[in-house]
Chains A and B, each alone.
Chain A
Amino acid sequence: MTASDEAVSVRLGPVDQIPVGEGRAFLVGDEPVAVFRPRSGGLYALRAICPHRGGPLADGLLDGEVVMCPLHNHRFELASGSCVSGGDVDDVAAYSAEDDDGELVVSLVAP
Chain B
Amino acid sequence: MTALAEPEQQTDGGSRAKLVVVGNGMSGARALEEILARGGSELFDITVFGDEPYGNYNRILLSEVLANAAGEAVDNEDADGFDDDELFLNPVDWYTDNGITLHAGVRIVRIDRHAKVVMGDDGSVTGYDTLVLATGSRSFFPPMDGMWASKTDLTPGVFGFRSLDDANGMLEHVADARTAVVIGGGLLGLEAAAGLQAHGLAVHVVHPTEVLMNQQLEASASKVLRSKLEDMGMHMHLGVKTSEILVTDGAVSGVRFTDGSDLDCDMVVVTAGIRPNIGLAVLSGLETQRAIVVDDRMRSVDDDDIFVVGECAQHRGEVYGVVGPLWEQAAVLADVITGADPDAAYHGSRLTTKLKVAGVDVAQMGVKTPERESDEFVQFSETGRGVYQTVIIRDGTLIGATLVGDVSKVAALTQAFDSRSALPEERVKLLFDLGSADDSASAADLPDDTQICNCNGVSKGDLVGCVHDGAETVSACMDATRAGKGCGSCKGLVREVVEAALGGAGAEDPADSYYVPGIPLDKPTLMQEIRAQELKSVSAVFAALAPEGRDDVASKMGLTALLRMMWPDDYVDERDGRFINDRVHANIQRDGTFSVVPRMSGGVTSPDQLRRIADVADKHDIPMVKLTGGQRIDLLGVPKEKLQEVWADLEMPSGWAYGKSFRTVKTCVGTDFCRFGLGDSTRLGIDIEERFKGIEGPAKMKLAVSGCPRNCAESMVKDVGIVAVEGGQWQIYVGGAAGATIRKGDILATVDSHDAAVQLTGRFLQYYREHANWLERTYDFVPRMGLDYLIGVIVDDTEGIAAELDERMQAAVDAYVDPWAADQDEATPGQFHDALPLIPLPQVPVRSSEGAPA
Contacts and interface: CB of A to CB of B under 8 A. Distances in A.
Contacts of B14: none
Interface of B: 456, 479-482, 485, 518, 539, 550-554, 556-557, 574-581, 588, 590-592, 828-830, 833-836, 838-839, 841-842, 844, 846-849, 851-854
Contacts of B574: 21
A86 B580 contact: no
Given A39-B539, A86-B479, A86-B480, A59 B849 contact: no
A14 to B, nearest CB: 9
Given A62-B553, A63-B518, 7 more contacts: A38-B551, A49-B838, A53-B841, A56-B836, A58-B835, A59-B580, A61-B576
A20 B552 CA distance: 15
A39 B576 contact: yes
Nearest to B479: A86
Interface in A23-37: 24-28, 30, 32, 34
Contacts of B854: 27
B576 A20 contact: yes
Interface of A: 10, 12-13, 16-22, 24-28, 30, 32, 34, 38-40, 48-50, 53-64, 66-68, 70-71, 73, 75, 85-87
A70 B588 contact: yes
Contacts of B482: 85-87
Contact of B846 (A12, A24, A32): A32
Contacts of A60: 580
B839 A54 contact: yes
A59 B550 CA distance: 21
B838 A12 contact: no
A100 B839 CA distance: 33
Contacts of B552: 63
B835 A56 contact: yes
Contacts of A75: 553
Contact of A27 (B481, B590, B830, B852): B852
Contact of B829 (A19, A48, A87): A19
A62 B576 contact: yes
11 contacts: A10-B853, A19-B828, A22-B575, A25-B834, A56-B836, A58-B836, A59-B592, A64-B551, A68-B553, A87-B456, A87-B482
A48 to B, nearest CB: 5
Nearest to B538: A21
Contacts of A22: 575-576, 828
B830 A18 contact: yes
Contact of A19 (B557, B575, B838, B853): B575
A65 B574 CA distance: 19
B553 A61 contact: yes
Contacts of A39: 539, 551, 576
Contacts of A56: 588, 592, 835-836, 838
Contacts of B842: 54
B553 A59 contact: no
A48 B842 CA distance: 12
